[in-house]
Chains A and B, each alone.
Chain A
């Protein structure tokens, strides 16, 4: 009874994911939105690495690394968009960016 069972890691992951998700839904500031998305991505990584440990296979860790790369890319584009909208003197509110309305 020294190690931590997988269940705990998965539980942590689920909790973080839900928190991040809630953040995505209730925040209107795009910066905060992006931060919440980071949280969700991280929670996924925890699960991935946890299962990697469980199955004794490095694939999960590789996955986690790829997710990080994707997160980096996403942040770059997301922040680029934030800056671009800011330069147009548009308020930092995702609800204002609704030109895709059908």
Chain B
């Protein structure tokens, strides 16, 4: 039953996408049917996911695994791949997040995209994204994982470049796509290694036989690192992160759904899904953890300096995923998934609230031209507030529990874990500062100089309702796993994480981490208030100092420039040189040599074709004579 519903859940968004895409082409259809199809398909998918979830709850934990194959997709050179889905507790959790958050964001988009010309295209692409993301998490083998991985890449490309007439949107879309293709190549190479070593790509078989790769072997390390290349590209981890801040050129609901709540966390999902492989190679896990640490810290520093409201959130996303990646690298898989879930709630809330602001201000995104919005936009204000408290880890809010869990468990995960704890705690302080900087600058203080060009108007219920629901989730979402209380996430994921190392902090570590976490959150808010909320002049004075480092931070450590110069520039020059110089002369030379030979010999030989009959006759006779001489010489001795 579960798998049948699973197929339907997978098919619904696809059908929605097709129905929307293949509308008759003359004239845009009325919005009613578009909304009904676009939002309805996701709603039904969510309801069905909930039904499957309920049915799984009723099952014995050890039986919470359903695999179903639709047909044999390919059988090639001894490797057979089925079109198959796998519904276990891990993919169930992802499905609920994707369809649930996805539905709310679709609903929100109904109003947000109201003025857009390509209303239908937007929903078609969003539905396609949901389908791809579901395929990614429900796949039962690496091939369809990669297929889903590629499809979300397409969806992300399409939606980043949604405003395709704007040059920067087009550029960002291309950047995102190409960097994700680099990630895809990593995944694909990992799959090649698995084919070579194990001869199969099915999860069940790969994980069952992973031991054949050999613990701490070079192969296992290579597989994990290559998989992580894919994960890092998708999840915006250093050094493949630079597409994510640029991806904010897409409409805000897209940023909320794809570039905050779901797609960018696919890398975390991947690591957790392949925990068996990562457990084989501690070096791979350590690499992942280090990359996560570097990312979470550096991204947090960059977020401090951003002026564009969406870019603040984007860098914050990079940083938060860094936490998850660090946790996954340290072997804290359940904690990573817990943070993934709460992050989906509060980051979606933050983005949607930011979207409400942008929508209300007619497209304005710069913090410099915001201020005092709490008087104009009550719903957005409360939602943003809830989201900020959650992400800052204010006690009682969802981020508090999930982030604290990662940090507390890190303490129990060896030396690297301790380093991670320190880095994570410092970054948590930065998180609180930059998030409340955003809140204070946008919602507090006076209106910006010169007032608003586009008078802020409050959202209607299409936007307000999903925003409120998400805000509530951002507050309460963490309560399902409370230290010293209950561990619903751990319990739920346990069947999917059989054999993963058991790491749990001592009571002291837990308590210390809780206390420090609370202090850090409150301190960060206080610092933010001191710098950005209380006194506007102080902020402006501060902006004057240290302009150089400030610019470096604003540009995200200028990695983009380095990429442009070092990688793209050189290969472009090489391509130009080949096109301009080698192609006509080198390759053309190889071609023109035989042509020249033929032409030259023809020029010589054409003299023989005099057109005079008698010369032909003579040539004939001379030939006969020559042949005769040869014959006579041969016969007569």
State yes or no: do A and B touch (Cβ within 8 Å): yes
Task: Name A residues whose Cβ lies closer than 8 Å to a Cβ of B.
Answer: 21, 24-25, 28, 33, 94-95, 97-102
Contacts of A94 in B (CB 8 A): 612-614
Contact A25–B612 (Cβ < 8 Å)? no
Contact B611–A98 (Cβ < 8 Å)? yes
Contact B608–A95 (Cβ < 8 Å)? no
Contact A102–B606 (Cβ < 8 Å)? yes
Contact B611–A99 (Cβ < 8 Å)? yes
Counting contact residues on chain B (CB < 8 A from A), the size range is 10 to 19
Contact A101–B617 (Cβ < 8 Å)? no
State the Cβ distance, A74 to closest chain B Cβ, in Å: 14
State the Cβ distance, B599 to closest chain A Cβ, in Å: 13
Contacts of B609 in A (CB 8 A): 100-102
Contacts of A25 in B (CB 8 A): 614, 617-618, 621
State the Cβ distance, B616 to closest chain A Cβ, in Å: 9
Q: When chains A and B are docked, how far (Å) is the Cα of A98 from the Cα of B616? A: 11
Q: When chains A and B are docked, how far (Å) is the Cα of A95 from the Cα of B618? A: 14
What would be 18 A-B contacts, judged by CB atoms less than 8 Å apart?
A: A24-B617, A25-B614, A25-B617, A25-B618, A25-B621, A28-B614, A33-B613, A95-B613, A97-B611, A97-B613, A98-B610, A99-B611, A100-B609, A101-B609, A101-B610, A101-B611, A102-B608, A102-B609
0 or 1 for each of B525-549: is its CB under 8 Å from A? (1 = yes): 0000000000000000000000000
Residue of A95, A99, A101, A102 touching B614 (CB-CB under 8 A): A95
Q: When chains A and B are docked, how far (Å) is the Cα of A33 from the Cα of B610? A: 18
0 or 1 for each of B586-622: is its CB under 8 Å from A? (1 = yes): 0000000000000000000111111111100110010
Contact A98–B612 (Cβ < 8 Å)? yes
Sample of 15 more A-B contacts, CB < 8 Å, known A25-B614, A99-B611:
A21-B621, A24-B617, A25-B617, A25-B618, A94-B613, A95-B613, A95-B614, A97-B611, A98-B611, A98-B612, A101-B610, A102-B605, A102-B606, A102-B607, A102-B608
Q: When chains A and B are docked, how far (Å) is the Cα of A50 from the Cα of B562? A: 97
State the Cβ distance, A62 to closest chain B Cβ, in Å: 25
Contacts of A97 in B (CB 8 A): 611, 613
State the Cβ distance, B628 to closest chain A Cβ, in Å: 12
Among A21, A25, A33, A102, the one with the most B-chain Cβ atoms within 10 Å of its Cβ is A102
Within 8 A of A (CB), among B389-416: none
Q: When chains A and B are docked, how far (Å) is the Cα of A8 from the Cα of B611? A: 39
Within 8 A of A (CB), among B64-81: none
Contacts of A101 in B (CB 8 A): 609-611
State the Cβ distance, B424 to closest chain A Cβ, in Å: 86
Contacts of B605 in A (CB 8 A): 102
Residue of B whose beta carbon sits closest to that of A94: B613
Residue of B whose beta carbon sits closest to that of A102: B609
Q: When chains A and B are docked, how far (Å) is the Cα of A98 from the Cα of B607? A: 13
Contacts of B608 in A (CB 8 A): 102
State the Cβ distance, B273 to closest chain A Cβ, in Å: 74
Residue of B whose beta carbon sits closest to that of A98: B611
Q: When chains A and B are docked, how far (Å) is the Cα of A3 from the Cα of B367? A: 129
Q: When chains A and B are docked, how far (Å) is the Cα of A24 from the Cα of B617? A: 8
Closest 9 CB pairs of A and B: A102-B609, A98-B611, A101-B611, A102-B606, A94-B613, A100-B611, A24-B617, A95-B612, A98-B612
